[in-house]
Amino acid sequence: MNTATAVSPADYADSPLSRALTQPLLLGLFLPIQNGGWSPSTLARTTDWSFDYNVALTQKAEELGFDLVFGLAQWIGKGGYGGALRYRETTIDPFVTVAALSAVTNRILLISTIHILYGPWHPLHLAKFAASLDHISQGRFGINVVTGYAPREPRMFGMTQIEHDERYARSTEFTNILKRLWEASENVSLEGEYWRLEDAYVSPKPRYGRPILVNATGSPAGFTYAARHSDLVFITSPAGAEIEATIAALPAHVAKLKGRAAEFGRDVRAIINPMIVCRPTEKEARDYHAAILSHADHEAVRNFITHHAVGDSQAWTNHKAEHRILGGNIQIIGSPEQVVDKIIGLKNAGIDGIQLTFFDFAPDLDFFGKAVLPLLKQAGLRN
Ligand SMILES: Cc1cc2nc3c(=O)[nH]c(=O)nc-3n(C[C@H](O)[C@H](O)[C@H](O)COP(=O)(O)O)c2cc1C
């Protein structure tokens, strides 16, 4: 059996993923389940890592018709990235969070990042847990497979960092085993290079073939993994966080990813994470951005930059220090009309979906719903 070409929930017309993919542009919310969100700035805001705050955001996003919410995973020591904020010291786990969110939502897709090589997980654990959550959420659960780029994270698990491309080789075997377990109608025994199974079986089977598979990457090895396995791929901007440079650089980058998927006879959707600072006028948006920057938590910013510098991610190499204060993979700052104009630019550059972050999540999501979403509909990007 060639598990690389196995089914996707996108092949089932009635799956939650297929429903979401009828949208011209997927719309997601990146949940702030970590303190400080994406912005090491001490300017006052409501953003909060607590479960209750994230439930309210998720329910609001669902009410606004968003397609998905998504949580990041990180393993970090006491004090986080430091500074006055103790930036990101406190995070609730995304897997546990989206499992709980499934019980208080009905329609929205729930994606959790998981470092599948830490521990290490056994594929049987994740096959079972994910099939369970697939049923609890009625097919809305997805795994964002990441391999970990920061050397200190595997050390927390008593491991040393595995070489970059070797991580994707292991992740490929892991994912093939997941697919085997989700598909198999008999017990599975196998001797892989990294994992062994004897008479292993998972029931219930996922409702739509398998849970949604996602990964976040910018490297050739990561693109090959995504091309073989993922439904959605979170890409970063190869040109750094500036929106104009991003729009110019993305067509070639996305074409590389989609070309790779086509080699496997597959289609993948490219998603990117804009940080949105939107106010009724451009001046108000720029003033707010300036206020965020003037409250930079400098020690946290420095430590966050160092964290990326000592890691081996190939996706974030062109991001400048100044962009780490507001954060996000790319930044869109302006009036509702200007924000929509840039989102149209992303769509025209080949992007299939946007996964939003905000500085002050609750009021900013509210404003986005009132002022930007109607314009996205007018522009034909949302049904
Ligand atoms: C939207 C998005 C979400 C991400 N979430 C996580 C995360 O939760 N945990 C993590 O360790 N890395 C996360 N990453 C970072 C990727 O894992 C990182 O880029 C990784 O090193 C990919 O490696 P590569 O680009 O070298 O293949 C994310 C990246 C993006 C674009």
- Establish whether residue 241 lines the binding site of ligand 1, counting it when its CB lies within 6 angstroms of any ligand atom: no
pLDDT for the residue numbered 6? 59
Tokens read off for 348: 């025209």
Rounded CA separation 132/125 (Å): 11
Residues 190/197, Cβ–Cβ less than 8 Å: yes
Closest CA to 131 of 183, 96, 68: 183
pLDDT for the residue numbered 43? 98
- Compute and round to an integer the Cα radius of gyration of the chain: 20
**269 in helix, strand or coil?**
strand
pLDDT by residue, tens only, the chain of 383 residues: 344 445 899 999 999 999 999 999 999 999 999 999 999 999 999 999 999 999 999 999 999 999 999 999 999 999 999 999 999 999 999 999 999 999 999 999 999 999 999 998 999 999 999 999 999 999 999 999 999 999 999 999 999 999 999 999 999 999 999 999 999 999 999 999 999 999 999 999 999 999 999 999 999 999 999 999 999 999 999 999 999 999 999 999 999 999 999 999 999 999 999 999 999 999 999 999 999 999 999 999 999 999 888 888 877 777 788 899 999 999 999 999 999 999 999 999 999 999 999 999 999 999 999 999 999 999 999 99
CB neighbours of residue 155 within 10 Å: 13
* Phi–psi pair at 274, nearest 5 degrees: -85, 140
| Cα–ligand 1 centroid distance for 9 (angstroms) | 23
Closest CA to 144 of 208, 55, 77, 234: 234
Task: From residue 289, give the alpha-carbon distance in Å to each of 43, 277, 308, 331, 365.
Answer: 10, 7, 23, 10, 16
pLDDT for the residue numbered 1? 37
| Cα–ligand 1 centroid distance for 72 (angstroms) | 9
Residues 114/175, Cβ–Cβ less than 8 Å: no
Rounded CA separation 380/14 (Å): 23
For residue 122, the 8-state DSSP code is: P
CATH class held by domain 3-378: alpha beta
How many helices (DSSP H) and strands (DSSP E) are in the chain? 14, 12
In testing the pocket of ligand 1, which one of 145, 234, 329 has its CB within 8 Å of the most ligand atoms?
Answer: 234
Q: Whole-model pTM?
A: 0.96
In testing the pocket of ligand 1, which one of 72, 75, 163, 273 has its CB within 8 Å of the most ligand atoms?
Answer: 72
